[in-house]
Amino acid sequence: MYSKEDSLIQIGLAKLHDTKELTLEYGYFQKGKGVQLLRQHRLDESLKHLQIADEILSDKEDYASLTTVYFYLGKLFVEKPDRARALLYLRKVDSMVNKYYFITPEIRSAYEHLINDAKKNGDREKQLYYTDQLLKVDSVISADFVLLASKIHSEYDRKSLVEDKNRLEKEKHRGLVITCLFIGTTVVSSFLLVRSRRKAKQLDLKYREILKNYKNPPRAEPKPENSTVPSADKKLYTEEMILTVKEKLKEFEAEKMFLNKNLTLTIVAKMLGTNRNLLSYVLNDHLQTNFTMYLKQLRIGYITSMLIENSRYLNYTVDTLADACGMANRKIFAAHFTEVIGMKPSEFIRRRKEEMNKS
């Protein structure tokens, strides 16, 4: 499906004229273009697009997508070849995995290259470390991407990885390795079991709280942004003007206009027949929130009520749920759902299904 992918990338870049308004989307398409050119072995052109994506995604703190960009930059320098720069970016991938735990199937081969490089240079300690990392990555991929996991081409399968790991540990620790591994595994397993039970109990309590209060979900406590309205101009707004905006916001919520996509403060102000300064002032100074949090809570509140009231929604994919509440993609939806509700959408859906099956 490369031809379809390439066509969509070209369409996306052609239509993104206002990159200030859609900076994150622009970064995604730059990443896609860089990957496309890398596939065609147009390395210098690919590098330019991937570096633009790197800059945008770093600024926007989209670390999941940034990890992928680092992987392709590493792959690009492997092909050049430029070992030093390749290792720089592939090690960044490992650093991001350790820090944020974002793991996708495509970054898997980064660890295969790091293992091969360590082997070539006789660095057994690094070879053991990256072997262990790859085993952890494979465990996550097997759990989160069940259908895809069996189709991924792997230079190292799990069996060979485990054998290499055991051999390297024996060379390093000799006779003590089996005892240490057993003790470590027992301690870690016990810790994980206790933590898992504690987390499950906390999530159950959180789920009950959500069901009790879903019609009026508790708001996160954001720090209101500084109003975009100069203090001198606030005196221009009468009580009548403020009340009018509040009433229009109620209509905005009642008619579920917040489900429209790509809403900005300016767009919503126009929808309400007012201006962005007055709307920002009312949200910040009178409703003690900001536009981003206001929109986020409305959308997550809506989709939560749908999941509770309509069992059909429990079978929707995360992408479909994101689309249903006006959000750009599953990553943003999952992050916002977790922030507002206090648990991941997958956890909420699983508990809701369990309760529905019991009743």
Domain ranges within the chain, ordered by starting residue: 2-174, 231-358
Q: What angle do CA 13, 18, 23 make, to 5 degrees?
A: 75
Burial of 186 (0-12, 13-18, 19+ CB in 10 A): exposed
- How large a percentage of the chain has pLDDT more than 70? 77
- How large a percentage of the chain has pLDDT more than 90? 55
Confidence tier at 56 by pLDDT (50, 70, 90): very high
Q: What was the pLDDT predicted at 226?
A: 53
* 3 state SS of 40: coil
What architecture is domain 231-358?
Orthogonal Bundle (1.10)
- Rounded to the nearest integer, the mean pLDDT of the chain is 84
Spatial separation of the C-alpha atoms in residues 27 and 48, rounded to whole Å: 12
Q: What was the pLDDT predicted at 19?
A: 67
* pLDDT per position as a tens digit, 317-344: 999 999 999 998 999 999 999 999 888 9
Same-fold call for 2-174 versus 231-358: no
Q: What was the pLDDT predicted at 222?
A: 46
Q: What was the pLDDT predicted at 20?
A: 74
- CA diameter of the chain: 82
Looking at domain 2-174, its CATH class is mainly alpha
Spatial separation of the C-alpha atoms in residues 24 and 46, rounded to whole Å: 19
Q: Pick from 60, 47, 78: which is nearest to 20 by CA?
A: 60
pTM: 0.46
pLDDT over 80 (residue 245):
yes
Residues in the chain: 359
Q: Which residue matches tokens 């059909």? A: 312
Q: What is the mean pLDDT of residues 178-191?
A: 68
Spatial separation of the C-alpha atoms in residues 79 and 245, rounded to whole Å: 58
- Continuous segment of H or E residues that includes residue 176: none
Q: What was the pLDDT predicted at 227?
A: 53
Structure-token pair, residue 243:
């009340």
Residue 262 falls in which region: left (phi positive, over 0), alpha (psi -120 to 50) or beta = left
